[in-house]
Amino acid sequence: MKHLRQFTMARVALGRAGDALPMRELLNLRAAHAAARDAVHKPLDVACLRQECEQRGWECVALHSAAADRTEYLRRPDRGRRLKEESRMLLMRGKYDAAIIIADGLSALAVHRHAVAVLDHLIPRLNSWSLAPIALVEQARVAVGDEIGVTLGANLTLILIGERPGLSSPDSLGAYLTWDPKPGKTDAERNCISNIRPEGLPYDEAAERLRALMTEAARRKLSGVALKEVTGLAAQCLPFTPRSI
């Protein structure tokens, strides 16, 4: 069984001390549990994130959900799916092919470690797209992208968000794509790519899969269960012509 450990970060072949785990593995488990809890409560450093984006020439807007703080966010998921009124007023409607959103979700740690790195690979692949200013959202759930997208007038939203921390991955980033965003969209109408991090799905591969899905979503004008990601999808995608042409 020990040879399996070279292929996975899952806790396999840990050994035994009597009828319990060896002390080293027990302490590692407790440390991992503490790291997962810390990731849930770590605040998003919007100023730092905004600086990283603007250094790359990406226009940003800082927003906040209707959840006032982390406690309310965890107890009232519905408020994390909506913007507070002051944030909604910051969004200027335009004609955008896509809106990209970066949100803390359940792991701001994942966002700080991986979100900008993913966009470093993705945005150059979208040079023919009309992109809205990147929205940086605190105390956010995935569905907050629906309100942002419809307010901006974007055809498609892509939200990069911290996933629920696990005992082997407190910093896993997820990406959710929604065509024709508007409040009331269900999870069945979204495409998800998860576990984006060096130990999981590498940045470049994640970016190419996102580009392929976004291109197909724009061509077919749909997303979710009706838009299947298949082997070689990137190669099969037709070129996307933005509406500005």
Q: What is the pLDDT of residue 245?
A: 36
Rounded distance between C-alpha atoms, residue 181 and residue 224, angstroms: 12
Residue with tokens 């982390």: 70
Phi, psi of 212 (to 5 degrees): -65, -45
Q: What is the pLDDT of residue 233?
A: 47
Rounded distance between C-alpha atoms, residue 226 and residue 103, angstroms: 25
**At 213, which amino acid appears?**
L
pLDDT in tens, 87-132: 999 999 999 999 999 999 999 999 999 999 999 999 999 999 999 9
- pTM for the predicted model, two decimal places: 0.86
Q: What is the pLDDT of residue 229?
A: 74
pLDDT in tens, 160-204: 999 998 877 899 999 999 999 999 999 999 999 999 999 899 999
Sheet of 60-64, strand order: 60-64, 134-138, 99-103, 156-162, 173-179, 190-196
From residue 44, give the alpha-carbon distance in Å to each of 30, 40, 90, 138, 161.
Answer: 24, 10, 19, 7, 11
Contact residues for 3 (Cβ-Cβ < 8 A; gap 6+): none
Mean pLDDT of 207-228: 95
Rounded distance between C-alpha atoms, residue 147 and residue 106, angstroms: 19
Task: Please list the residues that pair with 135 across neighbouring strands.
Answer: 61, 101
Rounded distance between C-alpha atoms, residue 233 and residue 35, angstroms: 36
Q: Is the domain defined by 44-235 classed in CATH 3.40.50.11240?
A: yes
Rounded distance between C-alpha atoms, residue 65 and residue 224, angstroms: 24
